[in-house]
Amino acid sequence: MTSEPQFLGAADLVSAFARGELSPVEALSAVIAHAEVVEPETNAFMATFYEQASRAAREAEDRWRGAGAPPRPLEGVPLAVSDDLEIAGQPLTESSVHLVGHEVRETEPLADRLYGSGAIVHARTSTSELLYSPFMLSELYGTTPCPWNPAYNASGSAGGAGAALAVGTTALAGGIDSLGCNTAAAPCGVVSMKPSYGRIPLVHPFSLDTYSQYFPMARSVADCALLYDQLTGPDPRDPSSLPPADPIGALRRDPAGLRVAWSEDLGGYDVRPDVRANTRDAMRRLAEAGAQVDEVSIDLDPAEIGGTVLRHAGHLLLPMLERQIREGDLTDHSTAFVTRALEEARAPFSDAVEAESRLYSELAGVFAGHDAFVCPALAVPAFPLVPESPDFLGALSGAVFTICSRHPYVSVPSGIGEDGVPTAVLAVGPRHAEAVALRVAAAVEDVIDPIGRPRT
């Protein structure tokens, strides 16, 4: 059996299954055994389905042996779903006491596609409370620390997914982001992908919220692309879902001929020196590999972007936010976010729309002469384990692409920061150009020294 199969990526697992060097049962058993050792400290899972997963692994093994139906693209690959997907028979809490006991009666289209890909769902990963912040801290599940340095937070909204990938308790994962808070990939040292709005179908209320996307997550850009390919395309249950796109297939990684614009602070973000240095080094290496790399002037106001995100949330979720404030039972940082969102909702929603229009125009000028844009994924490597302040929006340097959600991006590691926590950059594509974002991210992945994995 392959050594340490729990750390093999999805593509490598599929290849090993096809060659008969490893079976889905062996791979899943290694993941479960490893999880039983590291999960008490990692605290990434809010539920496990080991018995059902083991049955699915045996069925996948039959497929690879030719005893059943043909193997599907992700046949036998361990995948953890996040605690924001609606799957009949599974709990859904979004790490909030407000949703304890919530009954899911129907499996949403995205989850249907995850299961239909042949992947084996063995666990459900925790999220930040109600997806409201990057802080993996809740009354239900406690804290999820950064696997690289436990003084820091794994970061949400999909911190459980990021931490599980980092420590080897799943091969694939993901999560829904609605406020620019899916920051987990950067401090956990893994890869995540934000597709264009509508590319992966969702359900109400996320499907009609232009800020909401499902992020495929993995330990490599190629595995992210592999998962993404299984999830795209229209679904009649999501009126905003886009027509079919060409599959990524074999990932193009050559940077030669690419015109890449970049900024280390987007004109206004207070980016920590180690994040700046790693971003600058990544761009230097990308240029040496053959890309045309241009540092550009872009003038974004973090306060305006943060206010726009809050105003959008306040107007979209007003009745629910008001009810949650009345009922209480939110953590302090979630209460602070909800309170600020309600305050911003006093301004007309048209203000948020006008800000979005201005931001799209600013980005149009960048992409007019370039194929892609690169910037830090976060202004800091990670957030403290317990938040010192509920104000986090000023560190979300990628929030502009949550507002301008037709631009896809891939978060890919750019190095290691001063505190031993990974840093990351966003490889941003033009509108609806996932293949470009993935190509640039893969090129960055190739030129950066491997960061390794955290000690477990």
Per CATH, is 5-231 categorized as 3.90.550.10?
no
pLDDT of residue 227: 98
Structure tokens belonging to residue 341: 């969102």
Domain boundaries of the chain, sorted by first residue: 5-231, 260-447
pLDDT at 179: 65
CATH fold of the domain at 260-447: Amidase signature (AS) enzymes (3.90.1300)
Q: Same CATH fold, 260-447 and 5-231?
A: yes
In the chain, which residues have pLDDT < 50?
none
Q: What is the pLDDT of residue 11?
A: 98
The rounded distance, in Å, linking the Cα atoms of 43 and 147 is: 10
What pLDDT, on a 0 to 100 scale, did the predictor assign at position 455? 85
| pLDDT at residue number 205 | 77
